[in-house]
């Protein structure tokens, strides 16, 4: 039995599937002895279970699977495909120590949600109980069943020569209620995942938090909205650093805080209520993320953790739609309220950009001088999840009108956005601005350890509607995306931008959060019924860039 504190009204609302909570009861607390099984049953309900529920040993990847797809060039005679040599630009190269790999995240791929002592996360509730939150009401109960198939997944990426596998640890596996009792069985599982990577010649990179907040902490104090989470996150980080800090060389504290903070407010009625205004919640979350990250970073260094520690920022290059001063100001505000929100405190000043600081100060969110000193410099490189670029422009009714109106849907950044060029320039979608983006990061934030493109990938249009495996594997548009993106990184390096690594998203088709399995980013197709994996053409395209351009 594990003690857990929760609000009576929240538990009642969860059981009833209610959408509102009774505010008059919001001050009542009890401490109850409740088993993990009972907690699952009361807060989530029944979950699906995979047919395979023991760890599967890897099998050799068949040589026929390692044959790259044919190109679209065929000679008249003799018959057979012609594969012309890639035209190599001799001025481009990936340095010998440039590291590259593929990524995944625990809730998106692991499955086995109740197995071996894992506690529920907020995503178990969102997928099971929150009405219409996830497309087609799909869940991560089984997902890719990587919890038991990880050895085969590692063997498959090793067979293609992949150097790094970036994955996240499930916080609620290690601490079933988010804090308190540690689940040793989960630690032993990740011991073996890490060792299996090394045994296959693949380096593991660990992310501590990729959005799957333990439900116990959401019920106890609203998760990232309360400063209590800083201590709980650091306690979790300490367990991970002490367990694997001398073995794992690449660490990330949190993934894309911009995204998971902007997920607030979550649907009401499934956890503890809050008095924080919905539009303000993201900034309370961000404030506590910065404190948690910084303390975890210093803890890692004090424990002698080897290798690098950073966090993963996210966003895209911001292009002014016109050359007007209003659009230029909107672009700067977009940078401030996106990347700058977390990058300025960590890489530059220890504090928010001026526009963000003005806003969050009105909420009472201010860093002390001691906290600023603690936050500044807490990343060993600039990790950025960079998928695409967008145009930005001033709101239709002007910047000043938006800034003075908190009910404006664009407030507080007050930057409007579009993916398309103006009509006078053809109205096409924005395409490759990657070299400019990476150069901007280097010039603006001057990261001491260079830049890592820590996620990038592409969702092939309508792929979820395909039924023929050969059609699914021949992902022409995604292949072109990787071809062009790798070329863009090579251009950036040639221009003097210090890009030191990259991680493609994703290892396999997986649960894409609220979009369920309707959207596919995987470089491997997964038959979710049989759990068979198949390489897609894009995986070969990605790997080929390093075969051609990386120094030996």
The residues carrying an active-site annotation are: 256, 455
110 vs 511: CA distance, rounded Å: 10
Contacts of 62 (CB under 8 A, 6+ apart): none
Residues 523, 539 contacting (CB under 8 angstroms): yes
Residues 504, 482 contacting (CB under 8 angstroms): yes
- 390 vs 128, 258, 538, CA distance in Å? 34, 17, 24
The two beta strands, 2-7 and 29-34, are: antiparallel
What one-character DSSP code corresponds to residue 116? G
Please spell the DSSP secondary structure of 88-155, one letter per residue: --TT--B-TT-EEEEE--HHHH---TTGGGPPPBHHHHHHHTSTT-SGGG--SSSTT-HHHHHHHHHH
508 vs 108: CA distance, rounded Å: 10
Segment holding 540, helix H or strand E: helix 537-549
Residues 94, 551 contacting (CB under 8 angstroms): yes
Residue (of 284, 236, 259) closest to 513 by Cα position = 259
What one-character DSSP code corresponds to residue 176? T
The two beta strands, 416-418 and 451-455, are: unpaired
Contacts of 279 (CB under 8 A, 6+ apart): 406, 411
173 vs 193: CA distance, rounded Å: 14
Partners of 382 in beta bridges: 451
């Amino acid at each position: 039995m594990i003690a857990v504190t929760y609000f009576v009204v929240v538990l009642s609302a969860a059981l009833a599937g209610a959408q509102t909570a009774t505010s008059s009861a919001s001050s009542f607390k009890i401490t109850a002895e409740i088993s993990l099984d009972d907690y699952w049953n009361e807060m989530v309900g029944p979950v699906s279970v995979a047919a395979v529920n023991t760890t599967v040993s890897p099998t050799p990847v068949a040589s026929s699977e390692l044959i790259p797809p044919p190109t679209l060039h065929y000679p008249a005679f003799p018959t057979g495909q012609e594969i012309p040599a890639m035209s190599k630009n001799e001025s481009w190269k990936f340095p010998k120590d440039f590291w590259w790999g593929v990524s995944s995240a625990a809730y998106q791929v692991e499955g086995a949600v109740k197995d071996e002592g894992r506690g529920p996360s907020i995503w178990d509730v969102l997928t099971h109980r929150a009405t219409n939150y996830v497309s087609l009401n799909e869940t991560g109960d089984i997902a890719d069943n990587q919890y038991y198939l990880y050895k085969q997944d590692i063997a498959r990426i090793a067979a293609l020569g992949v150097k790094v596998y970036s994955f996240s640890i499930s916080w609620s596996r290690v601490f079933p209620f988010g804090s308190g009792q540690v689940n040793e069985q989960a630690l032993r599982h990740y011991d073996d995942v890490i060792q299996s990577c090394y045994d296959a010649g693949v380096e593991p990179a660990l992310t501590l938090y990729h959005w799957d907040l333990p439900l116990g902490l959401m019920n106890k104090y609203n998760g990232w909205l309360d400063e209590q989470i800083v201590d709980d996150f650091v306690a979790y980080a300490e367990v991970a650093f002490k367990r694997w800090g001398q073995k794992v060389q690449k660490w990330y504290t949190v993934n894309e805080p911009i995204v998971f903070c902007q997920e607030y407010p979550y649907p009401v009625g499934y956890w503890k209520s809050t008095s924080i205004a919905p539009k303000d919640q993201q900034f309370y979350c961000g404030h506590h993320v910065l404190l948690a990250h910084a303390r975890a970073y210093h803890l890692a260094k004090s424990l002698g953790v080897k290798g690098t520690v950073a966090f993963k920022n996210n966003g895209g290059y911001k292009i002014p739609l016109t050359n007007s001063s209003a659009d230029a100001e909107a672009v700067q505000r977009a940078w401030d309220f996106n990347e700058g929100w977390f990058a300025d405190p960590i890489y530059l000043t220890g504090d928010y950009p001026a526009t963000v600081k003005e806003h969050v100060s009105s909420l009472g969110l201010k860093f002390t001088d001691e906290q600023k000193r603690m936050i500044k410099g807490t990343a060993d490189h600039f990790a950025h999840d960079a998928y695409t670029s967008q145009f930005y422009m001033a709101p239709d009714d002007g910047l000043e009108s938006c800034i003075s109106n908190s009910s404006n849907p664009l407030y507080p950044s007050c930057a409007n956005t579009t993916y398309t060029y103006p009509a006078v320039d053809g109205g096409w979608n924005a395409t490759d601005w990657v070299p400019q983006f990476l150069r901007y990061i280097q010039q603006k934030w001057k990261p001491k350890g260079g830049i890592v493109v820590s996620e990038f990938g592409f969702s092939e249009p309508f792929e979820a509607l395909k039924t023929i495996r050969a059609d699914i594997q021949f992902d022409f548009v995604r292949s072109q995306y990787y071809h062009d993106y790798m070329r863009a990184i090579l251009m950036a390096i040639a221009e003097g931008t210090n890009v030191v690594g990259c991680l493609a998203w994703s290892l396999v088709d997986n649960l894409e959060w609220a979009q369920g399995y309707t959207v596919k980013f995987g470089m491997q197709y997964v038959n979710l019924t049989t759990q068979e994996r198949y390489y897609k053409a894009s995986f070969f395209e990605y790997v080929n860039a390093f075969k051609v351009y990386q120094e030996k």
